[in-house]
Amino acid sequence: MIRLTINGKTMALDVDPNTPLLWAIREQAGLTGTKYGCGVAQCGACTVHVDGQAMRSCALPVSAAVGKKITTIEGLAQGGKLTRVQQAWIANEVPQCGYCQSGMIMAVEALLKQKPNPTDADINAAITNICRCGTFQQVREAIHAAAKA
Ligand code: FES
Ligand code: FES
């Protein structure tokens, strides 16, 4: 058994320590907002926070997340209140198919914690998530809107 703390809840999961965190989150914890895209740490669809850092959960074994605070897209809103990033996403109509968007939002939340008012260069450097629908311009606008909120 592996004990993980996800969105403030500690749970014992019956997984091999080498299992990618993504699959423990989706299949064991049942939190399917975190998506599988490439499986090789390239696309960012699987991004979650581990102790506040954006991490690609497809490439992180669960053993590396033991004793750390894991946050998924389901754990962002507190008391039903969306974060300023989530609100900016809605206001700027960012998502198209939506598949990449939970990972995108998790990466952006982590960026704004480190850099509350990022430049376009900061965004380019930090947000390397891939969106097959090409929402990059809306993502950029929503990041700037969230930074000003
Ligand atoms: S599924 Fe993890 S980076 Fe693509
Ligand atoms: S919104 Fe469709 S892949 Fe990004």
Measure 13 CA to ligand 2 centroid, in angstroms.
30
Could you tell me if 7 and 50 are in contact, meaning their C-beta atoms sit under 8 angstroms apart?
no
Q: Is 39 touching ligand 1 by the criterion CB < 6 Å?
A: yes
| Prediction pTM value | 0.97
Distance (Å, whole) CA 113 – CA 53: 9
Residues flanking ligand 2, CB < 6 Å: 95-101, 131-133, 135
Could you tell me if 110 and 129 are in contact, meaning their C-beta atoms sit under 8 angstroms apart?
no
DSSP string, 35-59: --S-SSSSS-TTEEEETTEEEEGGG
DSSP 64: G
* Tens digit of each residue's pLDDT (9 = 90 or more) over 115-130: 999 999 999 999 999 9
- pLDDT < 70: residue spans in the chain: none
Could you tell me if 139 and 108 are in contact, meaning their C-beta atoms sit under 8 angstroms apart?
yes
> For position 52, what pLDDT does the model report?
96
Q: Which-ligand-closest: CA of 36?
A: 1
> For position 146, what pLDDT does the model report?
98
